[in-house]
Structure 1
Amino acid sequence: MDTILWIIAAIFVIAGVVTIVRGGLIYGIVLIVVGLLIGPGGVSVFS
């Protein structure tokens, strides 16, 4: 389960960075925050 959460969190963070680079600052920040909340290393919402 932890591996799946890491992968999902990484996808959200990478998508957030790409969105910021492409000009969507607010949406990119939201994606990064969601990725950090899902990740097992952060404040996981599934714990």
Structure 2
Amino acid sequence: MSILLLILGIILIVSGVLGVLRGQLLWGIVAIVVGVILTPGGFVLGL
């Protein structure tokens, strides 16, 4: 289960960064925050 959360979190973080680079700041920031929270370890991950 933690592997699935890690993969989902990484996908959300990458899509959030791409959203920020495209100019969609709100979607990008929300996706990054949700991705960091979903990853096992949460904010301890170091992002």
Fold match (TM-score > 0.5): yes
Large movers: runs of 4+ above 3 Å: none
* Number of aligned positions between the proteins: 43
Q: Distance in 1 between matches of 2:15 and 2:22?
A: 10
CA RMSD of aligned residues (A): 1.0
Name the CA distance, whole Å, in 2 between partners of 1:15 and 1:3.
18
- The amino acid across from 2:3 in the alignment is T
> Partner of 1:3 in structure 2?
3
Q: TM-score, normalised by structure 2?
A: 0.84
Task: Output the TM-score relative to the length of structure 1.
Answer: 0.84
Identity %: 44
Greater helix fraction, Structure 1 or Structure 2:
2
Give per-residue Cα distances to partners, 1:1-36, cap 9 Å, x unaligned.
111110000000000000000000111000000101
1:31 is matched with: 31
Structure 2: stretches of 5+ with no match in the other structure: none
